[in-house]
């Protein structure tokens, strides 16, 4: 019995193959921008934030 093999063209839609949904693009770039913000805010070398300093402050309160 013949083995049914694949035709690669059957896997990929032609008309929409280059489409990127706008909502997804916004998510993609938005997360990169957020990542830069978070990295700057919580990097000891940039903002001076450290988890032990944050702890000392929380105890003082």
Partner 1 sequence: MGSGIYNKPIAFALTATVVILIGTVVTMFYPMLTPEMHPKLENLKPFTALQLAGRDIYQREGCVNCHTQTVRPLKTEVLRYGEYSKAGEFAYDRPFLWGSKRTGPDLARIGGKYPDAWHYKHFEKPQGMFPQTNMPAYAFLAKNKLDPAEVEAHMKALDFPYTIEELSALGSKTDMDALVAYMQVIGTAVKKTAPVAAAGGVKEVHFPNPLADNPQAIAKGKDLYAKNCASCHGDNAKGDIGPSLVDDEFFYEKGDMPDDDYFEVTNNGTSEGYVEDGRTGKGGMPGFKDSLSKDDIWSIVAYLRSIKGK
Partner 2 sequence: MSDYQYDNQTVKGFIVSSIFWGVVGIVIGLLISIQMWKPETNFAPYFTFGRLRAVHTNGLAFGLGVGAIFGLSYYIIMRLAKRPLLFPKLARFQLYLFNVGILLAAVSLLMGQTQSLEYAELEWPIDLAIVILWVMFAINVFGTIIKRKEEQMYISLWYIIATTIAVAVLYIVNNLSIPAGLTKSYHLFAGVNSANVEWWYGHNAVGFVFTTPILAMFYYFLPKSTGIPIYSHRLSIIAFWSLVFAYLWTGAHHLVYTPLPDWIQTLGIVFTIFLIAPSWGSVVNGYYTVGTDWSKMNTNYLTKFFIMGITFYGLQTVQGPTQGLRIVSQLIHYTDWVPGHVHMGTMGWVTMTTAASIYYVIPKIYHTEIYSEKVANIHFWLVLIGQLIFSITMWITGIQQGALWKATNADGSLKYTFIETLTKNYPYWQLRTVGGLIFTVGMLFFIYNIYMTIRKGSLAEAKA
What are the residues binding partner 1 (CB under 8 A)?
12, 17, 51-52, 54-55, 58-59
Q: Mark 4-33 with x for binding to partner 2 (rule: CB under 8 A) and - for no binding.
A: xxx-x-xxxxx-xxxxxx-xx--xx--xx-
Sign of CA dihedral 9, 13, 16, 19: negative
Rounded CA-CA distance 51/61 in Å is 16
Q: How far is the CB of 33 from partner 1 (least distance, A)?
A: 20
Asked whether the beta carbons of 11 and 5 are under 8 A apart, the reply is: no
Contact status, residue 10 vs residue 16, Cβ threshold 8 Å = no
Chain positions contacting partner 2, by CB under 8 A: 1, 3-6, 8, 10-14, 16-21, 23-24, 27-28, 31-32, 34-35, 38-39, 42-45, 49-51
């Amino acid at each position: 019995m013949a083995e049914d093999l694949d035709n690669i063209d059957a896997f990929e839609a032609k008309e929409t193959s280059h489409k990127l949904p706008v909502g997804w693009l916004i998510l993609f770039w938005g997360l990169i921008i957020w990542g830069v913000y978070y990295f700057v805010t919580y990097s000891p070398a940039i903002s001076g934030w450290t988890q032990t300093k944050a702890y000392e402050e929380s105890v003082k309160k």
